[in-house]
Amino acid sequence: MNTVTERLAGEMLREKGLRSTVQRRAVLTALLGNPHSTASEIETRVGVAAAGPGGLSRQGLYNVLEDLTAAELIRCIEPAGSPARYELRVGDNHHHLVCRACGRIEDVDCSVGRAPCLDLVENKGFVVDEAEITWWGLCGDCARVARTAARGA
């Protein structure tokens, strides 16, 4: 693991009052440059091993993901029909585009800039502090494939 990245992960953990363990640093590092990762993808990057010094069991991975989410170091999103996905981008009120064909997910900045992005017609007594917006469609690559297939049909 890159020592600079590991050091940054340790600082992030300490700022949130969490112990800087090898396992937590490994999960944070696995998410760097890999937004919207599933637990399985993180498991592959971290190399989850059976219990051992510095190792991480599958249950241990889920415990770390839960701890990091609760501390707001990572965010969990759950697009319909997809396993839970994790990202480091937290607290900035962004949204997501999801490709129906290949499952690719892209971040979209909030056009309003503050939470919640939408105004409810009726709040039913709730004090709303967040709105999740997910746009569904085809990414550029899948749209080209679909157009090509439609022309050939």
| Tens-digit pLDDT profile for residues 89-114 | 998 888 899 999 999 999 998 876 66
User: What is the predicted pLDDT for the residue at 67?
Assistant: 97
First to last CA, the chain: 50
Distance of CA 78 to the CA centre of its chain: 9
- How far is residue 54 from each of residues 23, 67, 74, measured CA to CA in Å? 7, 17, 21
- pLDDT by residue (tens digit) across 114-138? 656 666 777 788 887 777 889 999 9
Write down the CATH number for the domain with range 92-152. 3.30.1490
Nearest to 132 by CA among 80, 63, 61: 80
Q: What is the spatial order of strands in the sheet that 75-77 belongs to?
A: 37-38, 85-87, 75-77
Cite the residue boundaries of each domain of the chain with CATH code 1.10.10: 3-77
H-state helical runs in 37-120: 39-46, 58-70
The CATH class that applies to domain 3-77 reads mainly alpha
Show the tokens assigned to 113: 């800039």
- pLDDT, tens digit, 9 for 90 and up, residues 14-26: 999 999 999 999 9
Calpha distance 37→30 (Å, rounded): 9
> What are the residue ranges of CATH 3.30.1490 in the chain?
92-152
